[in-house]
Structure 1
């Protein structure tokens, strides 16, 4: 975690973090012990589809503050018959701007508490369904005011009778003003009077919150991409907006209530990119989305400069699904087959999608479900917990708290250094006081509830998985479990039907025949990545990933590739073995998977587990496992035979095995014919050498004393001596490699150095010189992963094929794992002009310099170069 090696005890030893069995204790953070939260007692929420304004593909979407029953209790007691009493959690999220505030009292919840049938405001946000090649128009409205439902601050003047309801609310999490952030108060550390800069003060920010929405993976004009300096404040009654170019008035000083209400780039991109689609003002940003891309699993979230980690942790994120009605099963790249369904559609409310038939709903019918996996920590009052001091990351206590009730790490020392921000201390520092380089939390939250459960029919299901965490990698598997003894991988007998295949034409022949096979873990059959379907289905289980050959055998085995037929292993192409790795997802990555529950006995329990660590990730084999009792578990599935037949894609078989509904039944993943989306690109016009770096402090040397305190060596600057080391990491950054082979780090405020021409195809070679993996996201483009190799040559850290690609990386992606010590090469076409960014999607990194702009063509403001 840290880039200095000191002798103090590790956190695990300090906190007694290893039990007698060797299992690691849960991640610290928050006053609510995650082991006190009952697991698998709340149902998995199936996100409904958000309604538009009544004009097709036009939305007015607000971001608001409300409460959500994330922990057991409230509305969930109505569904599970329990009497849990955990309080609701204050969150932010999106919903139709004219909706009332949530009211779930009639269902056992509370006033202003979601989920609620009367309001679409929910965490995570409802899904936006988009149609390929059909524009979607959205007014994104900052409604972070006291009572947005009564204020309706969507533009124009606010009447005095609404002034109290329209007052802005401050952030629910600690904002570090010393980072390079939006800074609406326009007071910079070097005295400049402008926004989007390093702030002066170590105090947390208590002003109105800037937002700007980014649809992650969207192919759209720069003015609607959610550029991180294109933010806006709410149209609140207690804000006095001042001109953005305050530097033109050297006498200006922000008075109480005075803020710059729009970011530096707001409205500057309109017309420059050829899309007259951006109009930011009065608390609203009008964006247009082209959807001119293959069907895909996208998502939308906030992207404000220096605040993404906090704004997204507060809740605002949702799925944005692009469908292709002209393609087989609505999916570009599907040649033959039927995918599991249905998915929720517009007009189906919360009760329809999440309540069983006996309570007026129809949740039993859904076979396509988007699932976002996140980690959170909570306090006993239900509030979200996020670290408010750098000491937490360093596994130390805030100076002056050791031995008190506020001690975060009992038995550990204190962090005794100066911090950046020039108004609190006279000694210089470049270490941010609040920002943590990465943040890991102790409770798994899936679709807005902790450790949920989904009852499933013995059928095929399609899950669109999103890693929505701040910094955590996920490595997922689906073992069976004995719910009484909690023993994993207990064999259950799975019933199958099979037919022989004519080897000359690949067609099935002969009668259906039954067979049984013991199963200890289900495969996840991955059919797509972030940007499109894959060219081949990939079967993934812990320790194994295999590309399937269509109809390569007469059998559709759940135990593939361990079953032998005629003394031959059933395998496909690109058969990869891993040391413990399951379905791997870095932050922001998505996986479109099918899970086959067919033939499992009634009551079978399948648990989704995670074996990626509770710490920075560097590849498998991982240095440590997550806590088995908390972050090592995600959710579980329980097979219920009574649900069979509630979906038209469920199989209906006769006693002899004949399929009665071949025209509607979902196709076995072994028989799906995918072509993928054409993923070849021309020879690149240019190859760019990019670097990923981790920075140590240039101003702070630290040593450790006998009490375990980490203290600053006064008067010493790096390079340090006498056993002291630079404190770090101070930040993570991106950069380039110059003609001499020297790494040149680039900060957000530096002139733009990456300027593809419109239509250029480029290779970007990402040299990761840091100690951790980074999920790299390039805005605008979908990319092809071309390969990985060790820096200097040799085998990649990624276990697999000689070119270092995982079995699921042969299609289009928008986020790639760049492993430490590796060169990862991606190829993309930059086909639209405008100003975009590329960044690490560990959002703590992104918020502190690991994001830089690039410009396509010659349309960007000259001052940026």
Structure 2
């Protein structure tokens, strides 16, 4: 294989697209069969045009958005798929507002006695063949979870990244059923940014989102307008997701949504013996609800609003030509989750590290792509699949790498857009010099005693009086880069229903340190505020004992990973890799109430990796009962 091409993984017995045939290599011993352009998992890649969701621009009246049961064709060679969708569209309409434009939305449930769209089940993990678990259809040993078929259309909508009061945020237990409406108000007092809305129903988010309840939400302001970025038909939302489907007798997908997850035989709850369920991964990549679409583009600059709306897949994307060679110099990132970056950042595939455009579930990227040098060519966005060193995608099985194709017109185009050297002159980088409080959040390893086998969120407080010692359940010894002696922390909560621990004074800056003690990369999301990633510290985690749920020797700082330039903007989702402590800083302002933070691997969120916190006026907290964790100092 040429070092100038990208090796795209395949799998034994599964045919791949001819465009990748010469560059598909073995992965974990698996090899690919001969390729045909007409059959990739029973479907032809790049056959269907990309759909662009309708744009909804609310006016002065309250807006009603209806949740409906409908049928959508996800690929022209596959039967229609039953979905739940906002206004009957999958994805839902792109809502567009101006900064400071307050709107009200009645998320109204119109789904009456509809069969639940998703067939869910588990199959046993099989060592040595990772891609087998994301193969189309049911595998050997598949066991359906019958209770999912009986689920009602019970949903609550969360506007992800919005600064809005706790009563409007989409609290997971405040879901509504048929005929009821969730009334939410959004002040939109934020900088120009890319948000999104999705279901957040308690215990069943993974299936409700999978059923189709997602959509994009854009806030615009004057700073963005002054850049004269590509707009209109040259600004396109790209909502990524992965899916699996039931198959017919010939192994071809039928269109019926199948949520198939693995039972990991090497991750067992030591108390109950229950086998742990791993996050979902599907073989088919969808963009805007179309499997492997194409988009006709002109030879000019385009703006793409990229969102990963998958349950668990962390995409590692690369732009390649028809010979599978990386396309250089075409992509610039100008914004992240919470708004514009200070300057454009070149995004390139690194052949040595296999690092591409890494985007985890719920992350957003504002991208500019220059097609001027690609006149008359076809270029493709592919999921490279082998994550950069030091990361772990919990859904890293990549059976079919195809994502979408861009078909660049041959005609010359007069494009007056000039890439500015500065994007946001108003951006300011946060630093430790700002007075702030501290929180320590530990992400426990799978199989830790007391966690039912699943990773958990542990909220910690420092103990200085000797009342807690390493070796005790829920006690962690941590030696940071400036610590002569390790600090000792005690767990104050581990489940969603444990006592409320984190109480924040409105307007306070806080640094939250998120420590991953083992397991996959967790994309952590904190509601209400936008943050900046300050540091990515690396730790020796060998001293953590999952069996004792404690440390037998201190977890010790060993170095730091650089914070990439495109990760130094405003964010509300942070990839926390194994053995990393990620420090994020933000100001809790703009609203009050009870909010949540959680892992955005939806299977993890539903299985316990979610915790509440409150934001109150400082004058009110003076009269608080001062439970552990108040103040964060």
| TM-score normalized with structure 2 length | 0.76
CA distance in 1, matches of 2:445, 2:14: 28
- SS of 2:502's partner is coil
Alignment partner of 2:196: what SS? strand
Pair 216,628 (structure 1): closer, same or farther in 2 beyond 3 Å: closer
Query: In the TM superposition, what is the alpha-carbon distance from 1:593 to its structure 2 partner?
Result: 0.7
Q: Note if contact 1:454-1:636 (Cα within 8 Å) is conserved in structure 2.
A: yes
Question: CA separation of 1:793/1:138 partners in 2, compared to 1, >3 Å: closer, same or farther?
Answer: same
CA separation of 1:540 and 1:234: change in aligned 2, threshold 3 A:
same
* Matched residue, 1:171: 116
Deviation (angstroms), 1:123? 0.6
Contact kept in structure 2, 1:690 and 1:737, CA below 8 Å = no
The correspondence for 2:53, drawn from 47, 53, 57, is 47
Query: Which residue in 2 is equivalent to 1:349?
Result: none
Matched, 1:431 2:274: yes
SS of the residue corresponding to residue 603 of structure 2 reads helix
Q: Output the CA distance in 1 between the equivalents of 2:200 and 2:498.
A: 20
Contact 2:443-2:455 at 8 Å conserved across structures: no
Is the aligned partner of 1:813 residue 2:568? no
In 1, the alpha carbon distance for the partners of 2:31 and 2:245 equals: 13
Tell me if 1:849 matches 2:588.
no
Decide which of 462, 470, 474 is 1:738's aligned counterpart.
462
Residue 532 (1) aligns with residue 339 (2): yes
Matched, 1:68 2:72: yes
The answer (yes or no) to whether the contact 1:784–1:827 under 8 Å persists in 2 is yes
Shift of the 537–728 alpha-carbon distance from structure 1 to 2, 3 Å rule, reads: same
1: CA distance between counterparts of 2:335 and 2:272? 46
Per-residue CA shift, 1:148-172, capped at 9, x if unaligned? xxxxxxxxxxxxxxxxxxxx23433
Aligned to 2:403: 634
C-alpha contact 1:467 1:589 (8 A) present in aligned 2: yes
Q: Is the 8 A contact 2:341 2:423 kept in 1?
A: no
2:283 aligns with 442
State how far apart, in whole Å, the 2-side matches of 1:728 and 1:34 are. 38
Give 1:45 deviation, angstroms: 1.1
1:471 corresponds to 2:317: no
Match of 1:384 among 238, 257, 262: 257
Per the alignment, residue 230 of structure 2 pairs with 340
- C-alpha contact (below 8 Å) 2:334/2:423 kept by paired residues: no
Contact 2:314 2:395 in 1 (8 A): no
Alignment of 1:765 with 2:538, yes or no, is no
* Counterpart residue number, 1:423: none
Match of 1:609 among 379, 382, 388: 382
CA distance in 1: counterparts of 2:353 and 2:116, whole angstroms: 42
Instruction: Call closer, same or farther: CA 1:845–1:623 in 2, change over 3 Å.
Output: closer
Classify 1:667/1:618 alpha carbon distance in 2 versus 1 (closer, same or farther; 3 Å): closer
* Maintained 8 Å contact 2:230/2:301: yes
Count residues in correspondence.
531
Secondary structure of the structure 2 residue equivalent to 1:787: strand
- Does the CA-based 8 Å contact 1:372-1:467 persist in structure 2? yes
3-state DSSP class of the match of 2:206?
A: helix
Equivalence for 1:781: 529
Instruction: Say if 1:687 and 1:765, in contact at 8 Å, map to a contact too.
Output: yes
Q: Cα 1:341–1:431, aligned 2, differ >3 Å: closer, same or farther?
A: same
Question: Following the alignment from structure 1 to structure 2, what is the Cα–Cα distance between the partners of residues 621 and 839?
Answer: 19
Residue 460 in 1 paired to residue 301 in 2?
Answer: yes
Alpha carbons 1:618, 1:773 under 8 Å: kept: no
1:455 Cα deviation after fit: 1.1
User: What does 1:572-587 correspond to in 2, within 5 Å?
Assistant: 579-587=353-361
- Does the 8 Å CA contact 1:298/1:319 hold for their aligned counterparts? yes
Please tell me whether residue 794 in structure 1 is matched to residue 552 in structure 2.
no
User: How far is 1:90 from its partner?
Assistant: 0.6
Question: 1:175/1:627 Cα in 2 relative to 1: closer, same or farther (>3 Å)?
Answer: closer
The alpha-carbon distance between structure 1 residues 34 and 442, as it changes in their structure 2 partners (threshold 3 A), is: farther
**How far apart, CA to CA, are the structure 2 residues paired with 1:742 and 1:443?**
43
Q: Quote the Cα distance in structure 2 between the aligned partners of 1:287 and 1:621.
A: 37
- Sort the Cα spacing of 1:300 and 1:826 in 2 relative to 1 into closer, same or farther, 3 A: same
**Alpha-carbon contact 1:430-1:730 (below 8 Å) kept:** no
Kept after mapping to 2: 8 A contact 1:34/1:442 = no
Q: Decide which moves more: 205-214 or 818-827.
A: 205-214
Give the match for residue 161 of structure 1.
none
Shift of 1:748: 0.5
CA contact (8 A) 2:45 2:402 kept: no
Q: Is 2:266 aligned against 1:393?
A: no
Aligned residues of 1:752 and 1:864 also touching (Cα < 8 A) = no
**Alpha carbons 1:676, 1:811 under 8 Å: kept:** no
Question: Superposition pairs for residues 677-688 of structure 1, below 5 Å?
Answer: 677-680=427-430, 683-688=434-439
Could you report, residue by residue, the CA deviation over 1:524-563 in whole angstroms, capped at 9, with x for unpaired residues?
A: 200000111101110011119xxxxxxxxxxxxxxxxxxx
> Residues 174, 678 of structure 1: CA spacing in aligned structure 2 closer, same or farther, 3 A cutoff?
same
Q: CA deviation at 1:203?
A: 4.3
Aligned 8 A contact 2:440 2:513 in 1: yes
SS in 1 for 2:225: helix
- 1:205 Cα deviation (Å)? 6.4
Q: In the TM superposition, what are the counterparts of 1:98-109 in structure 2 within 5 Å?
A: none
Aligned counterpart, 2:139: none
Structure 1 position 295, deviation (Å): 0.5
Find the aligned partners of 1:13 and 1:668 in 2 and give their Cα distance. 37
Structure that is richer in strand per residue: 2
Candidates 227, 233, 257, aligned match of 2:177: 233
Structure 2 runs not aligned, ≥5 long: 1-8, 17-23, 33-38, 122-144, 248-253, 469-487, 540-555, 628-633
Deviation at 1:625, TM superposition (A): 11
Change (3 A) 1:169 1:601: closer
Query: 1:269-297, CA deviations, whole angstroms, 9 ceiling, x for partnerless residues?
Result: xxxxxxxxxxxxxx111100010010000
Alignment partner for residue 829 of structure 1, among 574, 587, 600? Answer: 587
Match of 1:542 among 349, 354, 367: 349
| Runs of 5+ unmatched residues, structure 1 | 1-11, 28-32, 73-83, 96-120, 146-167, 177-200, 236-282, 331-336, 343-365, 397-414, 421-427, 482-486, 490-518, 545-577, 652-664, 700-726, 799-803
CA distance in 2, matches of 1:689, 1:443: 38
Q: Equivalences for 1:746-765 in 2 at 5 Å?
A: 746-765=494-513
* 3-state secondary structure, aligned to 2:501: coil
How far is 1:594 from its partner?
0.5
Q: What is the CA distance between 1:697 and its match in structure 2?
A: 7.0
